[in-house]
Structures are given as structure tokens and as C-alpha cells.
Amino acid sequence: MELPAIDICKLEKAYDGIIAIDELSLSIPQGSILGLIGPNGAGKSTLLQTLMGILLPDRGDAFILGKSILDSGPDIRQQVGYVPDFPIMYPRFKVEEMFALAQRLYINWDENKCRGLCNYFKIPASKRVRTLSRGMKVRTALVLALSIRPRVLILDEPTAGLDPVARRAFLKAMIDEAAEGGTTVLYSSHNLNDLEQTADHIAVINQGKLLLTCSIDELKNSIHKSQVVFAADNPAEKVINFLPGLIEVSKQGKIYTFTASGDQQAFREALADLNPTIIEPVNLSLEDVFITYMKKEGYSYDYAI
């Protein structure tokens, strides 16, 4: 049986008594792309920094490619690419000097891949790091991470600060790496549209706890919405509230909008028993589904993309 690329086991981390990661367990198969989502302060960056050894856990452990993060040696670090939300590089170095340094540090450095990615991302190799915009620093950090031929790629808000064209190029490079190189990707993002296009699975965390892990399709199929128009005699509110899996209902003029979870067919059949004149399904984005899921679970906050 193949070991998971990342295996997190009851990991805990607190700052000054405030819990950032709360007995979190999560297993990520090799070759998959998992998106980590949750509100600001949910513990996403803390989790990624702990996996990278930047922070030490208070309790629990995690394993990358079968090696514990508590005692993993340089052989594992050689196989893990990391792009933080604010890439840190030597500001006085030229970009080409950063690449030359990485070439000396990483045994699997692929110079041809580095040159190809530099052209792809239009990175000015002769410029000094301190002169680069945040978006260009992120692109440079991704080139560094991919050129080591990683088996695991960990990204923290990688598309923040990128313009739409650069973001699309970034996502394509990430998908290509997973598809062609079998690289496992774990990345956090507030951009659920990006996740919907790239991730196989998602993990939802809030207040340091893992709330849910499933495939994108499973999450999207778990929530459904319908717009309904009834005849002149509208159904009583007490009847509507007994619809199976109902999460919320709103009304604008004669149009009711129902949001529900669970068996979509059973819900539609229950609606049909109320003799509507029109029932129209509403397509939901991953963002719509996620916000509704969090409401269903009793978490009330404004989730801003």
C-alpha cells in the first residue's frame, strides 16, 4: 500500500494560549492536489509553516514522504518545494544569483526547467530581488520551488498579488507539475474559483479544527438550490419548513429560493407535492456552496474573497 505524501496526525499548535491548530489529522495521497480553505485566522498558514519545520508543533506529528517533520533530514527537504505567502529571498541578490544558489543547494536542480519557467513567467533574471513587485517575487519563488523537481509542493496563498494573466499561468504550471511529475500539491487559497479549477480535493478548517475533507464534486453535490414559483395560494411557512434538508429560504415577489442539503431528488419531490408552477435548479459555484456549508454548520462570519 502506497504511503500518503503527507500524513498529519493529531497536530496541535498554540500561541500564548490561543489554539491555532487543534488536534488536526489529515492524509493527502501522492499525486493529488488538495486545496486548504477557511477564513482568515483559521490556522492555514500555521499548519503549512509547521509542516515545513518553520514552527514546531506542541503535540502530535506529521509525516512527509514517510518521514516525521520532527526529525526529517535534508533528504526530505530536497524533495519539498515551498512558496510562502510573502516570499523571502536575499534582497541584494539578482534573480539569476538566487537561481545559482539554489542550483548549488539542491541535488535535483533542473537548469533547463528553470530557464523554461523563467521564459514562461517572463522573469527578469538580471534584476535584483529588492526591485521586484510582490507578484514577480511569487513567480520567482515558484520557479525556484519547481526547478528542484519536488515530490511535494506546499503553497501558501500563491496567487495573492498576481494579475489575472499571471494567476492563470501560475495555476497551469501547478497543474502541469502534478500531472507530469506526479507531484503532490497542498495549497491554501481564499480564491475558491482557483480551487474549483485546480484541486482534486479540499480540506476546510476553522479555528484550527478540520471541519471537512472531500472531493470538490462531493462538496458541490452536498448543497443544492432551487427557485420556485407557486400558484396564487402560496404554501404556509410551517409547511415549507418541513422540507427535507432545508437550510434557508428567501422570497422576492412570487419567487421563492430554497437552499438545501442532502438528497436533491427527494427535496424536489417534496417541493412538487406543494404544487408549484415552476421549479428551476440554480447552478452554484464552489464559493456559494462553501458559504452555505459554513452557515449549515453554524459558523457565521463574512467570508471575503
The distance in angstroms from the start CA to the end CA of the chain is 39
- 77-119 confidence digits (pLDDT tens): 899 999 998 888 999 999 999 999 999 999 999 999 999 999 9
Same domain, residue pair 47 and 191: yes
Q: Determine the Cα–Cα distance for residues 251 and 262; give it in Å rounded to an integer.
A: 22
CA dihedral 197, 205, 71, 80 (to 10 degrees): 10
pTM of the predicted structure, to 2 decimals = 0.87
* Judgement on whether residues 239 and 194 belong to the same structural domain of the protein: no
28-78: per-residue pLDDT in tens?
A: 999 999 999 988 888 999 999 999 999 999 999 999 999 999 886 677 889
202 and 229 housed in the same domain: no
The answer to whether 251 touches 228, Cβ cutoff 8 Å, is: no
> Do 140 and 277 sit in the same domain of this protein?
no
Give the end of a domain, one of 161, 185, 207. Answer: 207
Domain around 72? 6-207
133-168 pLDDT per residue, tens: 988 999 999 999 999 999 999 999 988 778 888 888
Task: Please identify, among 153, 172, 207, the residue that sits at the C-terminal boundary of a domain.
Answer: 207
Question: Do 197 and 105 belong to one domain?
Answer: yes
Predicted local confidence at residue 80, as pLDDT: 95
Residue spans of beta strands (DSSP E) within 29-170: 33-37, 59-64, 67-68, 80-83, 152-156
In a domain, 1, yes or no: no
Kindly state whether residue 38 falls inside one of the protein's structural domains. yes
| Nearest residue to 48 via CA among 28, 30, 32, 31 | 28
Q: Supply the pLDDT for residue 237.
A: 66
CA-based nearest residue to 105, from 72, 81, 137? 81
Q: Are residues 101 and 228 in the same domain?
A: no
- 301 within some domain: no
**Structural domain contains residue 135:** yes
Residues 201 and 223 in one domain: no
Tell me: the pLDDT tens digits for 240-278? 878 888 888 888 888 889 999 888 888 888 888 888 888
Q: Examine residue 305 and state whether it is found in any structural domain, yes or no.
A: no
* Nearest Cα residue to 227 out of 181, 258, 184, 193: 258
212 belongs to a structural domain: no
User: Do 277 and 172 lie in a common domain?
Assistant: no
57 and 150: one domain?
yes
Q: HSE-up of 145 (CA within 13 Å, CB side)?
A: 28
CATH, residue 152: 3.40.50.300
> Is residue 196 a contact partner of residue 286, using CB atoms and an 8 Å limit?
yes
Q: In this structure, are 168 and 233 located in the same domain?
A: no
Residue 213 lies in a domain: no
Q: Based on the domain organization, do 72 and 197 belong to the same domain?
A: yes
The domain that contains 291 carries what CATH number?
3.30.70.260
Specify if 304 maps to a domain: no
Q: In this structure, what are the phi and psi dihedrals at residue 85, rounded to the nearest 5 degrees?
A: -65, -30
Is the same domain home to 40 and 69? yes
Distance between CA 168 and CA 41 in Å, rounded? 26
Confidence at residue 145, expressed as pLDDT on a 0 to 100 scale: 94
- Phi, psi at 246, each rounded to 5°: -60, 130
Q: What pLDDT band is residue 303 in, cutting at 50, 70 and 90?
A: very low
Taking a C-beta distance cutoff of 8 angstroms, is the pair 243, 267 a contact?
yes
Alpha carbon of 223 to those of 131, 180, 244, 290: distances in Å?
46, 33, 12, 9
Which residue has 523563467 as its cell numbers? 118
Domain count, the chain: 2
**Nearest residue to 159 (alpha-carbon basis) of 180, 142, 179:** 142
- Which of 184, 207, 230 terminates a domain? The answer is 207
Residues counted in the chain: 305
